[in-house]
Amino acid sequence: MNAATNHGSARRPRMSAAVPWLLSLPALALFAAILVVPLVMTVLLSFHDWSQYGGIRPVFILKNWREIWSDPYYVEMFSRTFRIAVLVTLITALVGAPEAYILRRMRAPWRGLFLLVLLGPLLISVVARTLGWALLFGGNSGLVNKALMTLGLISSPIPFMFTETGIVVALAHVLMPFMVLAVWTALHRLDPQIENAAASLGAGQLTILRRVVLPQAMPGVLSGGIIVFALAASAFATPAIIGGRRLKVAATLAYDEFLNTLDWPLGAAVAVLLLVILVTIVVAANRLIERRYAEVLG
């Protein structure tokens, strides 16, 4: 009797330990079906061969990867992609961090109103917002260019379409809320009385911002920077509309290889390389933030 009881008691912890895994099986199966399996298939596809008349051949070759690394065209595409992502991240940080600080210092009902104004664009399609910029600055027919030329302030339209500047401006506008929300969340940890104490001790406003507010806001700036950088580097709709076929980035390049030239293996190699670079940068940056600001984040 005691042996049977002990055996039953030993099985209960094992069953209890297996319950979480059993409950997670549906979610894990869905995760594998919609993410892991397609990703593995894309990686395998990047090592296949393709010809215009023969189509895709399931052979293991490194031709696509060698072409990406050796051809200056693809090197320029990836350089442009990450150059735009860095510029967008810097602009959103320089503009979004002060916005978040001002938003935090607002009182009700103004805080709720301006928070709605800030988050409102997230309810609108990215395509619609990007087309708005194209209507404002798109060549001779752009509203801003027409107004400036009518007033005699400029003699020719400001170049916006098919330029890196246009892509950076449009992406910065689209991704600005993510930076503001990240910094605003970080500033919630800051006790307003600390600023008052610093002011009572004779610290000026710039000193308070530099010595008190900025160290508390920096984890939010860096976290928002990671989000904005990843979204900007992988963005498709905005670069496709503003940049068009003249100014491609990695995402639009992969799209063209898949659907225009039908070279699926090369498009898969471009997509996988972009994913690997982004994951490496995001994971490394996240580790650095956690180590540097462990006390603040904790």
pLDDT of res. 287: 86
Predicted TM-score of the model (pTM): 0.84
Share of the chain above pLDDT 90, in %: 24
pLDDT tens, residue by residue, 199-227 = 776 776 777 777 777 777 888 888 899 99
Q: Cis omega before residue 38 (within 30°)? A: no
Q: Return phi, psi of residue 146, to 5°.
A: -65, -40
The partner residues of 56 in beta bridges, in order of sequence, read 50
The pLDDT tens digits for 187-202 are 877 766 666 677 776 7
What is the radius of gyration, based on Cα positions, of the chain?
A: 26
Amino acid symbol at 78? F
Lowest-confidence segment of 19-23, 79-83, 115-119 by average pLDDT:
19-23
Strands 55-57 and 49-51: antiparallel
> Which pLDDT does position 252 carry in this prediction?
92
d(CA 133, CA 170): 7
Q: Among 18-22, 88-92, 195-199, whose mean pLDDT is lowest?
A: 195-199
Whether the pLDDT of residue 294 is over 90: the answer is no
In the predicted structure, residue 286 carries a pLDDT above the cut 60: yes
- In the predicted model, is pLDDT for residue 2 greater than 60? no
Spatial separation of the C-alpha atoms in residues 84 and 245, rounded to whole Å: 16
Mean pLDDT of the chain: 83
Asked if the model's pLDDT at residue 186 lies above 90, the reply is no
Write down the pLDDT at residue 89.
Answer: 95
Q: Give the burial string for 118-143 (b: 16+ CB within 10 Å, else e).
A: beebeeeebeebbbebbeebbeeebe
d(CA 133, CA 129): 7
pLDDT, residue 279, reads 92
> What's the average model confidence in pLDDT over 43-68?
86
Cβ-Cβ contacts under 8 Å for 187 (sequence gap 6 or more) = 100, 101, 104, 213, 216, 217, 220
Q: What are phi and psi of 57, to 5 degrees?
A: -115, 125
Asked if residue 8 has pLDDT above 80, the reply is no
Q: How far is CA 53 from CA 49, 113, 251, 254, 274, in A?
A: 12, 59, 26, 21, 28
CB atoms within 10 A of CB 110: 10
Residue 135's H or E segment, with its range, is helix 126-137
Q: What's 46-97 look like in SS3? A: CCCEEECCCEEECCCCCHHHHHHHHCHHHHHHHHHHHHHHHHHHHHHHHHHH
